[in-house]
Amino acid sequence: MSDALPTKPTMVTISINGKEVQAKPGTILVEAAAQAGIEIPIFCYEPRLGPPIGACRMCLVEVEGMRGLQTACSTPVAPDMVVHTNNEAAATAQDGVLELLLANHPLDCPVCDKGGECPLQDRTFKFGPGETRFVEPKRHFPKPLDLSTEVAIDRERCIACFRCIRFSQDVSEDGQLGFQERGAGTEVATFSGEPYESRFSGNIIDLCPVGALTSIPYRFVSRPWDVQNAPSVCGLCPVGCNTELTMREGETKRTTGRPNPNMTVEEGWLCDKGRWGYPAAWSADRILRPLVRDANGTMVETSLEAAVDAAARLIAASSATQILVGAASTVEDGFLAQELAAVLPNAAASRLGFPDSADLEPLRALPRAELSDIDTAGAVAVVGGDVTNRHPIVELRLRKLVRNRGALAMVGPRTSPLDARATFGARTAPGQLSSGLAVLAAALEGASAPLIIWDEADLANEPAAAAELARIATAAGARQIELAVDVNGRGLRALGLPCQTAPVAAGALVAVNADPLESPGAMAWADAIDGVGAIIAVATHRSAITERADVVLPTLMHHEVEGVLVSTTGRAQRLRPGSRGPREAAAAWELLIALSHRTGTPLPFRTPAQAFAAVAAARPPFAGLSYSVVGDEGAPTTHVAQSSAPQRSTDAVGDGIALVVTTEIFGDAVSWRSDALVSRRTPAHLVLAPQQAATLGLVQDQRARVSSPFGTCILPVVVDAQAPEGAAFVAMGPPASGTSALLAGEQVPVNVMIEVAE
């Protein structure tokens, strides 16, 4: 007789409606049935919200041997289980649930925003009784109410499925939504009665299975049958969330989350900036037509063909050309800038963004993780950065980690809403990340599947901390996720585009989605640009560089182009257009190809797919990739060490107190341009701890002059009791705020002087 212990069966065999189905142990009936192509109707069940609660009773089924009907969303499979989802008992129960839900539900489907894409409507047609016994008048409420500035609620449509409340309580953990009253008077509201304020509030619209929660910017805009939808990627932060773009009459009318099968990136959630940033395309400063400076120095509108010709003449007449690629550019844009520079005489291509550092290579060489790996990690350590504002969806993953009883360690100078959820935490002084790494090591010790999340900017300025973090991660067997600074910074870096941190002498400057006059080192760039012979700006919106340009070529935004962005975890992901963009605008890659033809050095590409195929053939990080391989879910790039990355200076420049740069989620250009986010806009400001403010003679809302060796700006003061002493935290605000003048192009540590503004 063998002494071996019995092994658990890898699969459980059950019968559903007479069909044999195999499922993993623990699988709930709803999921097991779905895998076999059998639909069990649901309303409250949503696996992303956590364990099932069985609130709506729509999924009642009969299980032989079990008393009464069972909720399929909360009943796990068991060996030899026999399930009936459509026999008389189950069908009668499902009819009864729908009849009760519709007793007070207004039958206003023809005018309901959810009509045509409403799960309640679909379930009623497929599973409902077809008639009702209720003849009493339905309830009526004033409609709609603004639950927030972006979300409207029609209370009589609510079926009390708990989805929105569970999101508020268990996913975003803002704790604001709940049910008021009882019985037929039950309605969703905030506990305080104030508007719902959350950085992720729009997700409750996607979750709502009826028309109770709708998007105010999208309300009554279109119907499901007169729109086209395209899978794409959000380009407003480095995370690269999967999105679905809804287009009508050539314009993007809606952005929603797009859960992909593997949930590798964001689980289908979006932050509110990613959801409602698209109206920035229609802001007053959008460049709609090409502009050329005439002999009198006046910018005049012209055709796109004429503007490209003018730009080509300026390039041809210049002794040297510098092509500067901004972080909003796609991989194809960056590659074609390199190719154009290679065929033009005395030309060079570079990127404008966060400069690389050789000191980060030991961290980048560690095994790479995806955001989905956070869910199953025993411990996660976040070192530096500000995921709440710069990588917001990462915050939701970290909250899920803690709910799953994983350990979370937070180390860095910036305060975070996650601090209250952290298992371990260390607020460090600016430039002193090393002082908190002992806490991090303790958090990772002995943990299963440990993971570190580290900030590119903070660790680049502290090579000793980067080296120690790499040692700790290696000892713990941890994988790593890099929090990139720029949207496609990883993609442009993988192309081998060097970072341009200081201006160079050039006869012509071609700025592609780049404005050095509103970037770190702006003052030095401004002085250098005075000596540039010609400036060609390829841009979506007016800015400082377009005001100085000789030719302005209107280009397209992320939701208007085809291309590839590389996410913060190194995933190549496809953009697909959900809008045509202005009639006289073109994609940056198309404009670069046009310039190559007009300058007599034509590049052999006609489509972005051709350009990306050339990228995959010529750039090792993209080897083996193509548009079809990247597909809808993305594909990982390969890390290749950048041997040319320079060593960075880590000595702070200037006198005074340490400057810590922050970026509020609704404080960037997109948020300020989108009229859907007008109530969320956050201006640039200076955050000081109470003692620090008192020492400087500053109080709340007073204006302060902040000066560094590179420039000066005046900012309102915010006194925050949670802010660490001994530092000046500057929220950068939109580009025109002037805060970039405080920084060097190399983005080295900076000290600032602060005084009361007269």
Count of beta carbons in the 10 Å neighbourhood of residue 467:
16
Say how many domains are in the chain. 5
Give the pLDDT of residue 1: 41
Give the pLDDT of residue 551: 98
Do 612 and 540 fall into the same domain?
Answer: yes
Report if residue 641 sits inside a domain: no
Do 505 and 613 fall into the same domain?
Answer: yes
Q: What is the CATH number of the domain that holds 707?
A: 2.40.40.20
Do 505 and 630 fall into the same domain?
Answer: yes
Alpha carbon distance 435, 428 (integer Å): 7
Structure tokens at 1: 């007789």
Whether residue 224 is preceded by a cis peptide bond, meaning omega within 30 degrees of 0, is: no
Do 311 and 366 fall into the same domain?
Answer: no
Query: Mean per-residue pLDDT for 369-375?
Result: 95
Q: What is the CATH number of the domain that holds 379?
A: 3.40.228.10
* pLDDT tens figures, 186-242: 889 998 889 999 999 999 999 999 999 999 999 999 999 999 999 999 999 999 999
Q: Give residue 260's pLDDT band: very low, low, confident or very high (50, 70, 90).
A: confident
* pLDDT tens figures, 406-436: 999 999 999 999 999 999 988 899 989 999 9
Do 367 and 332 fall into the same domain?
Answer: no
Do 535 and 610 fall into the same domain?
Answer: yes
Do 699 and 739 fall into the same domain?
Answer: yes
Domain containing 606 equals 291-353+498-636
∠ Cα 467 470 471 (to 5°): 90
Q: What is the pTM of this model?
A: 0.94
User: How distant, in Å, are the alpha carbons of 283, 573, 581 from that of 273?
Assistant: 15, 19, 20
Report if residue 548 sits inside a domain: yes
Report if residue 396 sits inside a domain: yes
Report if residue 147 sits inside a domain: yes
Do 363 and 414 fall into the same domain?
Answer: yes
* pLDDT tens figures, 133-142: 888 888 888 8
Do 344 and 472 fall into the same domain?
Answer: no
Report if residue 329 sits inside a domain: yes
Report if residue 68 sits inside a domain: yes
Do 349 and 362 fall into the same domain?
Answer: no
Q: At which of 243, 259, 281 does a domain end?
A: 281
Count of beta carbons in the 10 Å neighbourhood of residue 169:
17
Report if residue 116 sits inside a domain: no
Q: Which residues pair with 566 in a beta bridge?
A: 572
Neighbouring residues of 547: CB distance < 8 A, sequence distance ≥ 6: none
Do 583 and 563 fall into the same domain?
Answer: yes
Q: What is the CATH number of the domain that holds 547?
A: 3.40.50.740
pLDDT at 254 over 90: yes
Q: Give residue 7's pLDDT band: very low, low, confident or very high (50, 70, 90).
A: low
Report if residue 652 sits inside a domain: no
* pLDDT tens figures, 630-678: 999 999 999 888 666 666 677 889 999 999 999 899 999 999 999 999 9
Do 260 and 365 fall into the same domain?
Answer: no
Give the pLDDT of residue 8: 59
Query: Phi, psi at residue 730, to the nearest 5°?
Result: -105, 115
Q: At which of 427, 454, 483 does a domain end?
A: 483
Alpha helices by DSSP H, listed for 599-725, are 608-618, 627-630, 669-673, 690-696
User: SS3 of 446, please?
Assistant: coil
Q: At which of 41, 72, 101 does a domain end?
A: 101
Give the pLDDT of residue 5: 53
- What percent of the chain is modeled with pLDDT above 70? 98
Give the pLDDT of residue 2: 47
Q: Give residue 4's pLDDT band: very low, low, confident or very high (50, 70, 90).
A: low
Q: What is the CATH number of the domain that holds 154?
A: 3.30.70.20
